[in-house]
Amino acid sequence: MKRILVTGGAGFIGSHFVRYQLAQYPGVHIVNFDKLTYAGNLDNLAGVDESRYTFVRGDIADADAIRAAMESCDAVVNFAAETHVDRSLMGASEFIDTDVRGVYNIVEAAKQLNAKRVLLVSTDEVYGSIDEGAFTEDDPTGPRNPYSASKAGGELMGRAYHQSFGVPVIITRGSNTYGPNQYPEKVLPLFVTNAIDNRPLPLYSGGEHNVRDWLYVEDHCSGIDCALRNGAPGEIYNIAGGNERENIALTHRILELTGRDESLIKLVPDRPGHDRRYAIDASKLRALGWRPGMDWDEGMALTVQWYQENEPWWRRIKTGEYLEYYKKQYGENG
Ligand code: NAD
Ligand code: DAU
């Protein structure tokens, strides 16, 4: 793979993946195709080696545009998506445009162009919630919110294109990812940046009952890379962090690392249909040689330190559209 198309490369995980590829593979050229929605941010790619990197502004829901971008590349890795559950609960139209129609456009173009590899970055949320144990790739999916339903829809189209036409589609399902450059609508950067500002941390439903499995962003990138290079077409690979934490425990850790106390915790009404626990088994990807490298305590310390040292990055975001969304989502509780 000499030229890889990365869609959504200006977002959180996509931008780390662009850097990861450029650092690991000196012969690779990356084409980043991104619509630059509210979540896309070219600051995330500041300083990348421009001689091995090209940016194209475009929408994966635009069939001609994505096909044209794919023509010059050997492989495509799709990160482009609407990604926030709470926004999908306010209205899912854009989720369907990007996460379903956009993925359809990618696999259809891959069929026409005989693409060598199509990796669809998906999520553990497509399995739905699980009280005990962990989902494997053979378990049925059961998405329970509009975001995860749209991701499952895109996945199904990818799997159908593999079955029907032999398009070499590989799917990864990652768990909750954390690290630098995450848009501060997601719980971890939201709570860290609010804590820095001494503002309330709006915790849904008390936070004791909800569990997420945290995966450091570089480990998510190395997992996707492992599936891309060593995985088999038509297969699905779980990428788990192995760091299950109740939301209340995560919140306490953030307060500790930012030097704040519990008085900042604000219990707010629950998310509708809130999935209690996500858990996946990554044995299948581990069998291909992948291992997560980041220790939880170190990853959290590095992440909090990054937000402390990069205030201009998130203060630029926490204006305009962000503040409108925040008011709509949290109202008086913000
Ligand atoms: P993000 O919201 O930070 O970034 C999404 C990027 O996609 C942005 O740069 C945005 O501009 C771009 N984009 C959106 N719609 C587009 C379109 N129609 N055409 C082209 N570009 C478009 O997302 P993220 O958190 O980095 O997630 C990346 C991928 O990983 C998503 O597919 C998501 O479902 C998946 N995922 C995320 C997590 C997580 O915890 N963040 C976990 C598992 C899987
Ligand atoms: O599991 C993978 C998924 O993780 C990804 O596919 C999604 O793109 C990503 O957004 C994330 O989804 P979650 O819904 O798990 O992440 P979020 O950060 O929105 O919420 C994490 C937990 O924190 C969840 O139990 C809800 C809770 N929460 C969230 C917010 C935004 C709060 O208590 N308060 C909040 O303000």
- Report CA(147)–ligand 1 centroid distance (Å): 11
Ligand 1 atom at shortest distance from the alpha carbon of 215: 40
Tokens at residue 206, please? 């008390």
> Of the bound ligands, which one is closest to the alpha carbon of residue 39?
1
Position in ligand 2 atom list of the atom nearest CA 271: 26
Per-residue pLDDT band for 8 (boundaries 50, 70, 90) equals very high
CA angle 240, 243, 248 (to 5 degrees): 130
Report helix angle 103-113 to 63-71, nearest 10. Answer: 40
Is the beta carbon of 125 within 6 A of some atom in ligand 2? Answer: yes
Helix, strand, coil share (%) of the chain residues, nearest 5: 45, 15, 35
In this structure, what token pair is assigned to residue 40? 């896309």
CA–CA distance, 59 with 266 (Å, rounded to integer)? 38
8 A C-beta contact, residue 278 and residue 212: yes
Distance 187 CA to ligand 2 centre (A): 6
C-alpha span between 295 and 299 (Å, rounded): 6
pLDDT digits (tens, 9 = 90+) for 213-237: 999 999 999 999 999 999 999 999 9
| pLDDT band of 243, cuts 50, 70, 90 | very high
d(CA 92, CA 122): 17
DSSP secondary structure, 145-187, as one string: SHHHHHHHHHHHHHHHHHHHH---EEEEEE--EESTT--TTSH
pLDDT in tens, 138-174: 999 999 999 999 999 999 999 999 999 999 999 999 9
244 alpha carbon, closest ligand: 2
Q: H or E element: which one contains 284?
A: helix 283-286
Say which ligand is closest to the CA of 209.
2
Q: Name the residues annotated as catalytic.
A: 124-125, 147
Domains and CATH numbers, the chain: 3-177+215-239 (3.40.50.720), 180-212+244-275+296-330 (3.90.25.10)
Q: Is the CB of 245 under 6 A from ligand 2?
A: no
Q: Find the 97 Cα to ligand 2 centroid distance in Å.
A: 21
What's the whole-number mean pLDDT along residues 12-40?
98
Amino acid at 97: D
Residue type, 40: G
pTM over 0.95? The answer is yes
Looking up tokens 């749209």, which residue turns up?
150
pLDDT digits (tens, 9 = 90+) for 48-76: 999 999 999 999 999 999 999 999 999 99
85 lines ligand 2 (CB under 6 A): yes
> Do residues 7 and 77 make contact, with C-beta atoms less than 8 angstroms apart?
yes
Those residues whose C-beta lies under 8 Å from the C-beta of residue 312, and which sit 6 or more positions away, are: none
Q: Distance of CA 148 to CAs 154, 195, 279, 332, Å?
A: 10, 29, 15, 28
CA distance 283 to 276: 23
Cα 288–chain centre separation: 22
For residue range 288-334, list pLDDT tens digits in order.
Answer: 999 999 999 999 999 999 999 999 999 999 999 999 999 999 998 77
Residue to mutate, 183, 264, 271, 327, ligand 2, most ligand atoms under 8 Å from C-beta: 271
Q: What spacing in Å lies between the alpha carbon of 142 and ligand 2's midpoint?
A: 17
117 φ, ψ (degrees, to nearest 5): -155, 135
Lowest average pLDDT, out of 16-20, 205-209, 292-296, goes to: 205-209
Q: What is d(CA 275, CA 131) in angstroms, rounded to the nearest whole number? A: 10
